[in-house]
Chain A
């Protein structure tokens, strides 16, 4: 059964400054518990804002280091989930359920990618 990485991308400019609402956290918590109990969720977490992040870049044989926030990027990774699913359709179904826990004012993109095994 393949593993899928779902990269949860958000727009930090439109995301609520105070963070997710308690109701969202509640719904999300319940869903994650359900996915975990089903034996599907292997690991998941949210990330701290890009203001606390750092980009380490390799180009032309040189390293450059840039501290966040990454204001020039519209979408930044805000969290991730690693799920073991029968197929991509199943990974997408769980991802849809995850997105539906959000309020309508959110803009979130989940990029679902299969993890190369071996």
Chain B
């Protein structure tokens, strides 16, 4: 690599160039990776192009199409590098033996090709040969345009750890000869699943952030949302991509309402729904409609009926049929029910219960069952919900999960079984992970000592 010049950081010109570079860098790295077949080298070449811009733009002015300028410089260097490698290989092999040369791409690149390259980059960064941590770091670095320092701050991890992780990930991709491609074989679904999971993981990391955290942490939500929207544009015919985008739009729409004035978490039930972001809700609905419209059609039934609750028992179809909505789309459909309700009580709980039932057939989990029980309790009253919760009592996965006794306590209290309810709330309090929650649960246990009112009627 060439010696680094020392541009003046922080000047308006430098800021503008760095902004342009950040916008262009994912596509730049993608286009160059296609030539050199190594994301690590591609990233270095992209950096070289930035250095060239920092040297020349302040003198010569910013070119009309800065992205094309950067790409041309980086591609030029990439082609040079490939030629040098070929010459080297040729010298090694002696003259006379024909060498299969890498076909050098034609210029200028077609915008469609750049999209393809970008998609290949997404699949490469999220490749299953990498650990989940490596995938998230590499994705944020190569596609989210975050610096190593920013990723480290966002994940509360020391910067050298993240730097190491990224270096190792790039090396693994190179040594394992991971192809720079979008998979189309039988592993396509699993590979796409890995991409979606990485984006969801990034989002949740941000969602878990609390008020006192560095703003970069909650910022991960928007980074993930941006990646999801990008992927929706690149893979418009994949329903689960739209499903994930929709889910994240809905979750993000509640950001302002989910913490109180002192940073305390506010439960969905207690959120001020006027603070939900209507534009993000509208975007969530649009993305969900896209997910629904892109499902492979099983029958002549109207596509919009696919996610309706009157669809019948999913179990009779014998496992998830190929055209059934995937887990992200189902979770988005559940989020939509909340988004469309003006109050917690007015929510279409019966539909949510059905959607949780569908979700359980695809990704069986006691937590999903517990959520279904809550929905059933709102739709049909506490008694049938308690039956579901009681089947979960022996679940090892929920043994230390405070929400199980908390939900059970709530159902028992609504049934007028206050003595049992109190025991459950006390147990939930002993398992709660933070003081605020513990205080809330102990208060509910205390409530159960008060004289008993009439039991909760099913549709109150």
Contacts and interface: CB of A to CB of B under 8 A. Distances in A.
Interface of A: 1, 36-40, 42-43, 82, 84, 86-87, 89-90, 92-94, 100, 117-118
8 shortest A-B CB distances, which residue pairs? A39-B229, A1-B222, A39-B226, A37-B233, A89-B19, A39-B230, A118-B256, A93-B19
Nearest to B150: A86
B375 interface: no
Interface size class on chain B is 20 to 34
Given A1-B222, A84-B222, A118-B256, A39 B227 contact: yes
Given A1-B219, A37-B233, A117-B256, A89 B16 contact: yes
A90 B19 contact: yes
Given A37-B115, A37-B233, A40-B226, 20 more contacts: A1-B226, A36-B229, A36-B233, A37-B230, A38-B226, A39-B225, A39-B228, A39-B233, A42-B279, A84-B225, A84-B226, A86-B145, A87-B19, A89-B15, A89-B16, A90-B19, A90-B22, A93-B19, A93-B20, A117-B256
Contacts of A87: 19
B64 interface: yes
B234 interface: yes
B190 interface: no
A84 B225 CA distance: 10
A1 B145 CA distance: 13
B25 to A, nearest CB: 12
Interface in B141-196: 145
Contacts of B16: 89, 93
A38 B223 contact: no
Interface string B229-267: 110011000000000000000000000100000000000
Interface of B: 15-16, 19-20, 22-23, 64, 115, 145, 219, 222-223, 225-230, 233-234, 256, 275, 279, 283
A94 B24 CA distance: 12
Nearest to B221: A1
Contacts of A1: 219, 222-223, 226
B264 to A, nearest CB: 15
Nearest to A90: B19
Contact of A82 (B23, B226, B279): B279
The SS class assigned to the B binding surface is helix
A1 B15 CA distance: 18
23 contacts: A1-B223, A36-B229, A36-B233, A37-B229, A37-B230, A38-B23, A38-B226, A38-B229, A40-B226, A42-B279, A43-B279, A84-B226, A86-B22, A89-B15, A89-B19, A90-B19, A90-B23, A92-B19, A93-B16, A93-B20, A117-B256, A118-B256, A118-B275
B64 A100 contact: yes
A4 to B, nearest CB: 13
Contacts of B20: 93
B115 to A, nearest CB: 8
Contacts of A100: 64
A38 B225 CA distance: 11
A78 to B, nearest CB: 21
Contacts of A43: 279
B446 to A, nearest CB: 33
Nearest to A91: B19
A28 B275 CA distance: 33
Contact of B230 (A38, A89, A94): A38
A1 B22 CA distance: 15
Residue of B16, B19, B64, B283 most packed against chain A (CB within 10 A): B19
